[in-house]
Amino acid sequence: MALKATIFKAELQVSDLDRGHFATHALTLARHPSETDERMMVRLLAFALNADEALEFGRGLSAEDEPDLVLRDLTGAIQLWIEVGLPDEREVRKASGRARRVKVYTYGGRSADLWWAQNAAALARLPNLTVVDVPDEVATAMEALAERTMRLDCTIQEGQVWLSGEGETIHFELPPRLP
């Protein structure tokens, strides 16, 4: 018998002063049985950093060849493909050919550093790719905010990020490894 996804509800208020995006998003996140709270919260952070009314979560870990988040234009063309974790370099190259822009949000401390060391040269050749590393302490702090029902506020200004929920505020900066 297959295990079912756990459903999380999040009310995410985004104030992105850098992009001029101000909105409250009612989100439903399906956490695959093999997905950790940490990964789910990094997916939620990726949503906040790229928030748009048309941005959607993909079908999840069980769906290969699909992004974790996707932004399509009115014609169905993929404008933004977002991966979370340590994706295979070939998959990132394939996504780069299918989407106008691709973003990869890595996390995991040392394993993310090793992934970067192995893939940096190949990924640097992709002009529409941005790779951003979420520091271990940030991912761990975000994991502590995970609740089945969450209310989070995310403010972004001049590259600084403030993520608040349950009386806790996390402040950090995410400089890209690869702009």
CB neighbour class for 76 (10 Å; exposed up to 12, middle 13-18, buried from 19):
exposed
The answer to whether residue 36 is domain-embedded is: yes
Contact 41, 139 (CB under 8 A): yes
Q: Walk along the chain (179 residues) and give the pLDDT tens digit of each residue.
A: 567 889 999 999 999 999 999 999 999 999 989 999 999 999 999 999 999 999 999 876 556 778 999 999 999 999 999 999 999 999 999 999 999 999 999 999 999 999 999 999 999 999 999 999 999 999 999 999 999 999 999 999 999 999 999 889 999 999 888 76
Element (H, E) at 42: helix 37-49
Domain-embedded: residue 1: no
- Number of structural domains in the chain: 1
Q: What share of the chain is helix, strand, coil (3-state, %, to 5)?
A: 25, 40, 35
Give the β-pairing of 149-157 and 6-16.
parallel
Q: Is residue 105, in this structure, part of any structural domain at all?
A: yes
CATH number of the domain encompassing residue 39: 3.10.640.10
The residue segments making up the domain with residue 142 are: 6-178
